[in-house]
């Protein structure tokens, strides 16, 4: 089973390296994150300021179709279960152009969220503005942001951990460590890591 997953992942990464335009550099730790308002899987609009109790968010650019995103899917659910009640819930965002990525339409997103029992918002970045502003290039890519007054400051960018195949074998759990540090009012020891996944499918033109 694991070998099948890895073969799918490698095939996807090879395919994804061709024909797609990368965004600008995007956010680095310490930058102020852009506010947004996007449609959730249930049709409701979600913004960063909706949850007054949130100390910050774990923002995950992900999708339905990428094998790497699928491999990390349970870990995203686990992060929400672990940290939502402590003030750092997950917000998942699909930036793929559904015209270039069959299986990533809004209807497909609603179906997957229901089937996989997502406990967090799953938003569609229809014009891809948010992904470009943040600087996401792959799915999945994570940004941990911290509330400061009316602003949200980026504290971590990159991968969830350092074991794409099996999270239980990861020796570095970057997102978990970042959120724990913020909850303890400590600096994030590793504020960036390299996100590995499928290239975001950008709109033509």
Residue 24 has a pLDDT of: 55
| Mean pLDDT of all residues belonging to the chain | 89
pLDDT of residue 205: 56
pLDDT of residue 7: 42
Q: Tell me the pTM.
A: 0.88
Strand 122-124 to strand 138-139: parallel, antiparallel, or no bridges (unpaired)?
unpaired
- d(CA 137, CA 203) in angstroms, rounded, equals 13
- Supply the pLDDT for residue 1: 46
3-state secondary structure of 90: strand
**Cβ(47)–Cβ(91) under 8 Å?**
no
More confident residue, 6 or 73: 73
* Residue 185: C-alpha distances to residues 84, 146, 179, 182 (Å): 17, 11, 10, 5
pLDDT in tens, 86-97: 999 999 999 999
Q: Which of 5-14, 40-49, 105-114 has the lowest mean pLDDT?
A: 5-14
pLDDT greater than 60 at residue 79: yes
Task: Collect all residues with Cβ–Cβ distance below 8 Å to 128 and sequence separation of at least 6.
Answer: 95, 97, 200, 202, 203
44 to 4, 37, 123, 146: CA distances (angstroms): 37, 10, 10, 24
Q: Is pLDDT above 70 for 161?
A: yes
Give the whole-angstrom CA distance, residue 26 versus residue 135. 4
For residue 8, the tally of other CB atoms under 10 A from its CB is 15
Share of the chain above pLDDT 90, in %: 80
Asked if the peptide bond before residue 174 counts as cis, ω within 30 degrees of 0, the response is no
164 C-beta neighbours (distance < 10 Å), count: 20
Angle between the N-to-C axes of helices 174-183 and 67-83, in degrees from 0 to 180, rounded to the nearest 10:
20
pLDDT of residue 35: 86
Q: Are 76 and 62 in contact (CB under 8 A)?
A: yes
Domains annotated for the chain, with CATH where assigned, are 2-199 (3.40.30.10)
Going by pLDDT thresholds of 50, 70 and 90, the confidence category of residue 11 is very low
pLDDT band, very low/low/confident/very high, at 204 (cuts 50, 70, 90): confident
Q: Is the pLDDT of residue 13 over 60?
A: no
Identify whether the C-beta of residue 176 lies closer than 8 Å to the C-beta of residue 82: yes
pLDDT of residue 106: 95
pLDDT digits (tens, 9 = 90+) for 22-68: 445 799 999 999 989 999 999 999 999 888 899 999 999 999 999 99
Q: What is the pLDDT of residue 22?
A: 43
């Amino acid at each position: 089973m694991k070998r099948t997953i890895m073969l799918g992942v490698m095939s996807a990464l090879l395919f994804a390296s061709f024909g797609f335009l990368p965004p600008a550099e995007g956010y680095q730790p310490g930058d102020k994150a852009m506010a947004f308002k996007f449609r959730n899987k249930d049709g409701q609009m979600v913004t960063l300021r909706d949850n007054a109790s949130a100390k910050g968010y774990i923002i995950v650019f992900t999708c339905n179709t990428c094998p790497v995103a699928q491999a990390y899917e349970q870990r995203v659910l686990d992060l929400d279960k672990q940290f939502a009640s402590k003030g750092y819930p997950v917000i998942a965002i699909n930036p793929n152009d559904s015209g270039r990525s069959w299986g990533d339409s809004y209807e497909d997103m609603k179906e997957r969220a229901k089937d996989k029992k997502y406990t967090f918002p799953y938003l569609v970045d229809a014009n891809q503005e948010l992904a470009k502003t943040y600087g996401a290039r792959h799915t999945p890519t994570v940004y941990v942001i911290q509330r400061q007054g009316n602003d949200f400051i980026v504290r971590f960018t990159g991968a969830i951990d350092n074991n794409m195949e099996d999270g239980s074998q990861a020796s570095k759990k970057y997102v978990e460590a970042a959120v724990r540090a913020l909850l303890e009012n400590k600096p994030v020891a590793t504020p960036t890591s390299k996100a590995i996944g499928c290239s975001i499918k950008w709109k033509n033109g």
